[in-house]
Amino acid sequence: MEFFVDENDRVDGVDKVTGKAKYFAEYQLPGLTYGVLVTSTITKGKITAIDTKAAKNAPGVLEVLSHLNKPSVAGYEQAGGSPMKIFYTDQIFFNGQPIAIVVADTFERATFAASLVKVSYEKAAFNTNFEASIKDAAVKKLQGQPPYVRGIADAYKTAEVKVEQIYTMPVETHNPMELHGIIADWQANDKVTVYAKTQGVKSTQNTIANVFKIPAENIQVNSQFVGGGFGMALRTWPLEIAAIMASKQLKKPVKLVITRDQMFTMVGNRPAAYQKIGLGATKDGKITGITHTAFGQTATYENFTEGVVNMSKFMYDSENVNTNYYVIPLDMGVPIWMRGPGEATGAFALESAIDEMAHALDMDPLDFRAKNDPEKDPAQNRPFSSKYIKEAYKLGAAKIGWNNRKNKPGSTIEGSWNIGYGVSIGVFNAGRGRASVKGILKADGTLILQSATSDIGPGTGTGMTLIASKLMNIPVEKIVFELGDSSLPPAPSQGGSATLSTVGSAVNDVCVALKATIAELAANSNMDATSNFVDVLKKNNLPIIEKTIQSSQNNPEAKNYSMYSFSIHFVQVKVHQLTGVVKVSKIVSVGDAGKIVSPKTARSQMVGGAVGGIGMALTEEAILDNRYGRYVNNNFADYHVPVNADVPDIDVIFIDKPDPIVNPMGAKGMGEIALIGFAGAVANAVFNATGKRIRSLPITPDKVLEG
């Protein structure tokens, strides 16, 4: 089925719109069995007994595994390592912790049997209350990141004009549409094939190798299509190990797909945050001090930190900056990076405070930002590889109609709605790792590219195909990019907005190598140097030529530059005077991310980030009942992600100028900046609309009315 109206269409578009695209749970294996997890109903303590008799006698049940009868797992027998060794402990670390797996011949039977497992516990006192823990926190004992000081600490306190405020946000959950899980098929001779939902097939392979102490080459990880990740599939979770254990024990393939409510507890989250920003400026609007102190959240059994305070160190020109970042251990599942990760958390606080300062100075927030825009990276004292922030301000402001904005809040009213405009910056490291790509040129005119990278949605295959198409002058429909298979040449996990930069560089390098080989063959066979590769292969009687290239990690010049992607989000909001409802009515997101390789998918990624930002700003909040340590809104009816009616048309503008340093394409990553800063823009727009400064996400109507 070929259907290309446009070379920029997704290469896997037809598979996705016809239902042919196979996600992990959709592989049919002979003798497939179904696993269902039994989870802890207490928050902390220990398991004293598990009665599996009724479950084991239920129809179709093949096995019930728990810490009482699990098979030996070599990596878990050793001391140390991950403290959350599933089925290797009777300890309960959080509510909803997987403690047993029931395997049956059908999903329904496994689900029913799991309900028959009776667990007894010895409860212990627990703490899941983030807010209360901040107040009690003995800062010196907390982990986090080392304090950062440039110039004088807390210089804002003596500034002519100062802003000192606290910004908070709750736990958010990734909630990709595809439920997490795995199919594990343990075969003879300690070989295992898994169909996984992962952002990194090599990472999954390595984790399984380490846990089961078998050679990596014995482990085949397949993950061609992933139904969204947003960070939660950046690690192999204990539940996946449980399914592999069960398959090993039963000598049958086991499929485990967790439930939506389990998606809230056992596969990470964006941790809650409490941030204090102190900003000092001169009366004419020059920033003289930034202090950013942040508290994040981690688990008692494992540590998690992220870059919440990073942006504050270099985004604005200030002689004096100091940051502190601590994490509070709670009796909850360990967090994991969620799109934009800590930077998105930090940007909400910093960009709100910047807006507050602009207001205190009676300056336009864009002018205030422009005035404090650093020429060089003030933290590293080196130039940016490329940065077109001021141009982005102009383009975005013109598009949204920034001149309609009145600096005095509450000035624009349409009927029963107050109208406001807000802006915020997002920034994220333009990372580049090292990947290998194999390129196979065939005499039939096709090019096959292979790399063990992933596509959780951004369009990896599409981007890589476009890079190769331009370099090789081969139409996209003649190029196949294979990914999501651990047996392909290695690539890092898809995270941190680095895939296009990392894998794209290797695609570039392999194409350059293939072209050189063709040119050499052409020369040796007395053909014109510009001859078509098909003719060259035919003349040389070669059915294929192939090259595998590991890309260099970075341009040697890179160490002399700070490399970041930037975004500027402009929003218009309408705030209803009687109900306090906030509607985002216009969005213009400007991406300063170097050369845009795949315009259509890049635009979609920016659109998607803005949609995620609407959720972060207005609706998303995983609410925990601290009396029980359980989420009370662990489903899509109660945890509100944006739906279609929440989202207006979105304008995306790209600067689209190549970065000269980062990689051969000149393209910087975009996945994170699409979301980073967006919530701040909404909060700032709500202030502009109403004069009410909401410093606690999400901005729900109750806060607007109360504010």
Partner 1 sequence: MAEIDNNQSGDTRRDFLKKTSLFTALSLTPLTVLKAADNKVDERFAELFEKIPLNLKVNNKPYTLKVEPRVTLLDLLREQLHLTGTKKGCDYGQCGACTIHIDGVRVNSCLSLAVMNEGKSITTIEGLAKGDELHPMQAAFIKHDGFQCGYCTPGQIMSAVACVREGHANSKDEIREYMSGNICRCGAYPNIVDAIQEVKEGGKAI
Residue list 253-272, contact with partner 1 (CB under 8 A): 257, 259-260
Between CA 555 and CA 376 the distance in angstroms is 20
Nearer to partner 1, 609 or 669 (CB): 609
CB of 227 to partner 1, least distance (A): 3
- Mark 200-210 as b/e (b = at least 16 C-beta within 10 Å): bbbbbbbbbbe
7 in contact with partner 1 (CB under 8 A): no
User: Contact with partner 1 (CB under 8 A): which of 99, 498, 511, 611?
Assistant: 611
- Contacts (CB under 8 A) with partner 1, residues 326-365: none
23 in contact with partner 1 (CB under 8 A): yes
User: Contact with partner 1 (CB under 8 A): which of 48, 380, 553, 635?
Assistant: 635
609 in contact with partner 1 (CB under 8 A): yes
User: Contact with partner 1 (CB under 8 A): which of 111, 165, 168, 446?
Assistant: 111
Three-state DSSP class for residue 375: coil
Sign of the torsion formed by the C-alpha atoms of 495, 497, 502 and 503? positive
Nearer to partner 1, 247 or 562 (CB): 247
What is the amino acid identity at position 380?
A: Q
Nearer to partner 1, 10 or 150 (CB): 10
Nearer to partner 1, 592 or 620 (CB): 620
Two tokens, residue 146: 């080392």
- Contacts (CB under 8 A) with partner 1, residues 176-205: 176-179
CB of 299 to partner 1, least distance (A): 24
172, 621, 672, 706: the active-site residue: 672
Sign of the torsion formed by the C-alpha atoms of 547, 553, 556 and 560? positive
CB of 500 to partner 1, least distance (A): 14
21 in contact with partner 1 (CB under 8 A): yes
User: Contact with partner 1 (CB under 8 A): which of 58, 447, 584, 673?
Assistant: 58
Residue 520 CB neighbours (<10 A)? 12
User: Contact with partner 1 (CB under 8 A): which of 7, 22, 370, 376?
Assistant: 22
User: Contact with partner 1 (CB under 8 A): which of 536, 616, 641, 686?
Assistant: 641
457 in contact with partner 1 (CB under 8 A): yes
- Contacts (CB under 8 A) with partner 1, residues 124-183: 175-179
CB of 453 to partner 1, least distance (A): 15
Closest CA to 265 of 364, 350, 334: 334
User: Do residues 396 and 588 touch, judged by C-beta distance below 8 A?
Assistant: yes
User: Contact with partner 1 (CB under 8 A): which of 59, 81, 147, 475?
Assistant: 59
439 in contact with partner 1 (CB under 8 A): no
240 flagged as catalytic: no
Nearer to partner 1, 16 or 382 (CB): 16
- Residues sharing a CB contact under 8 Å with residue 184, sequence separation 6 or more, in sequence order: 192, 193, 194, 240, 243, 244, 246, 247, 248, 253, 254, 256
Closest CA to 503 of 472, 544, 464, 455: 464
Between CA 548 and CA 469 the distance in angstroms is 18
CB of 437 to partner 1, least distance (A): 23
Pick the piece of the chain touching partner 1 (CB under 8 A) from 5-13, 83-91, 144-152, 271-279. 5-13
User: Contact with partner 1 (CB under 8 A): which of 69, 115, 303, 416?
Assistant: 115
- Residues sharing a CB contact under 8 Å with residue 186, sequence separation 6 or more, in sequence order: 192, 244, 247, 248, 251
Residue 73 CB neighbours (<10 A)? 19
Nearer to partner 1, 26 or 160 (CB): 26
User: Contact with partner 1 (CB under 8 A): which of 102, 425, 467, 607?
Assistant: 607
585 in contact with partner 1 (CB under 8 A): no
15 in contact with partner 1 (CB under 8 A): yes
Three-state DSSP class for residue 477: helix
Nearer to partner 1, 259 or 305 (CB): 259
In 125-219, alpha helices (H): 130-136, 201-212
User: Contact with partner 1 (CB under 8 A): which of 29, 54, 137, 623?
Assistant: 54
- Residues sharing a CB contact under 8 Å with residue 249, sequence separation 6 or more, in sequence order: 63, 65, 70, 71
The structure tokens 């306190």 sit at 157
CB of 272 to partner 1, least distance (A): 20
User: Contact with partner 1 (CB under 8 A): which of 76, 225, 274, 301?
Assistant: 225
User: Do residues 575 and 411 touch, judged by C-beta distance below 8 A?
Assistant: no
Between CA 414 and CA 345 the distance in angstroms is 32
Question: How far apart, in Å, are the Cα atoms of 478 and each of 8, 179, 445, 474, 665?
Answer: 14, 33, 7, 7, 21
| Mutual angle of helices 460-472 and 599-614, in 10-degree steps | 160
Two tokens, residue 166: 């606290």
- Contacts (CB under 8 A) with partner 1, residues 465-524: none
228 in contact with partner 1 (CB under 8 A): yes
User: Contact with partner 1 (CB under 8 A): which of 159, 163, 226, 361?
Assistant: 226
Between CA 564 and CA 594 the distance in angstroms is 10
Nearer to partner 1, 67 or 583 (CB): 583
30 in contact with partner 1 (CB under 8 A): no
Known catalytic residues are 672
